[in-house]
């Protein structure tokens, strides 16, 4: 959040956080750091505006999800939270430069709820996406939707940004060990853009 607020150079940064305790803590942190251009919204971003159940693993609150497989993780609390569709939240004349998305399996819903923004403003997209969190879909479904809107993708592999054509979920997200998502060759961070990206080293 700190670096995003610096990157936007005076523009507005909106942070959506559906868990009340985290939202309040984030708002307090922004006040303490004088991040006046950051607005914290205690809502979950989704494909529709309204309310939805958020599944919160009691042992790992950061893994809360609207969809995904977290509901099968054992000791999970279900909380009703407000949801917002980004196309409803932002006015048509508001330019959106970047979307950073970490929603534990609801990526496709977030992007479908922002279709107008993606078509008209072409923001840079930074997001996590993993087959293990998706329910009835795969990372390829997310990639295909974005590509249908004119995006092309890359993935973060260590300190490198590699073309999406080099990504193979069977290899880079294989689930063949107890803690497979912690393996050094497990990759789940993606960058999508409509403009050609430079070839920086990440990190």
9-21 confidence digits (pLDDT tens): 668 999 999 999 9
Q: What DSSP designation does 165 have?
A: G
The yes-or-no verdict on residue 203 having pLDDT over 60 is: no
Mean pLDDT of 170-193: 92
**Long-range pairs for 60-66 at CB < 8 Å and ≥24 separation?**
61/19, 61/22, 63/104, 64/18, 64/19, 64/104, 65/103, 65/104, 65/105, 65/106, 65/133, 66/103, 66/105, 66/106, 66/109
User: Is the residue at 161 inside a domain?
Assistant: yes
pLDDT tens per residue, range 104-124: 999 999 999 999 999 999 999
The yes-or-no verdict on residue 6 having pLDDT over 70 is: no
User: Is the residue at 30 inside a domain?
Assistant: no
pLDDT tens per residue, range 28-45: 999 998 888 899 999 999
Q: Are 30 and 63 in contact (CB under 8 A)?
A: no
User: Is the residue at 68 inside a domain?
Assistant: yes
The yes-or-no verdict on residue 91 having pLDDT over 90 is: yes
Spatial separation of the C-alpha atoms in residues 196 and 123, rounded to whole Å: 13
Spatial separation of the C-alpha atoms in residues 160 and 201, rounded to whole Å: 5
Mean pLDDT of 121-149: 95
User: Is the residue at 134 inside a domain?
Assistant: yes
User: Is the residue at 31 inside a domain?
Assistant: no
Mean pLDDT of 179-194: 93
Label residue 3 by pLDDT band (50, 70, 90): low
Domain CATH code at residue 108: 3.40.50
User: Is the residue at 14 inside a domain?
Assistant: no
Query: What pLDDT score does 8 carry?
Result: 65
Percentage of the residues of the chain whose pLDDT score is greater than 70: 88
Spatial separation of the C-alpha atoms in residues 169 and 140, rounded to whole Å: 9
Domains held by the chain: number: 1
Boundaries of domain holding 120: 43-193
Average pLDDT, the chain: 89
Query: What pLDDT score does 201 carry?
Result: 52
User: Is the residue at 50 inside a domain?
Assistant: yes
User: Is the residue at 101 inside a domain?
Assistant: yes
């Amino acid at each position: 959040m700190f670096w995003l607020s610096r990157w936007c150079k005076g523009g507005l940064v909106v942070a959506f956080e559906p868990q009340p305790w985290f939202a309040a803590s984030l708002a307090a942190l922004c006040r303490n750091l004088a991040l006046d251009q950051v607005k914290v919204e205690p809502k979950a971003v989704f494909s529709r505006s309204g309310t939805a159940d958020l599944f919160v693993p009691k042992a790992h609150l950061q893994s809360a999800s609207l969809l995904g497989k977290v509901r099968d993780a054992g000791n999970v609390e279900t909380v009703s939270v407000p949801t917002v569709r980004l196309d409803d939240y932002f006015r048509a004349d508001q330019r959106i430069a970047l979307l950073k998305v970490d929603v534990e399996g609801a990526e496709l819903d977030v992007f479908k709820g922002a279709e107008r923004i993606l078509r008209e403003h072409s923001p840079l997209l930074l997001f996590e996406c993993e087959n293990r969190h998706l329910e009835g879909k795969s990372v390829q479904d997310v990639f295909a939707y974005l590509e249908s809107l004119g995006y092309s993708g890359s993935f973060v592999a260590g300190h490198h940004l590699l073309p999406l054509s080099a990504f193979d979920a069977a290899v880079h997200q294989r689930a063949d060990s107890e803690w497979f998502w912690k393996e050094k060759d497990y990759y789940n961070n993606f960058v999508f853009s409509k403009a050609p990206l430079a070839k920086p080293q990440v990190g």
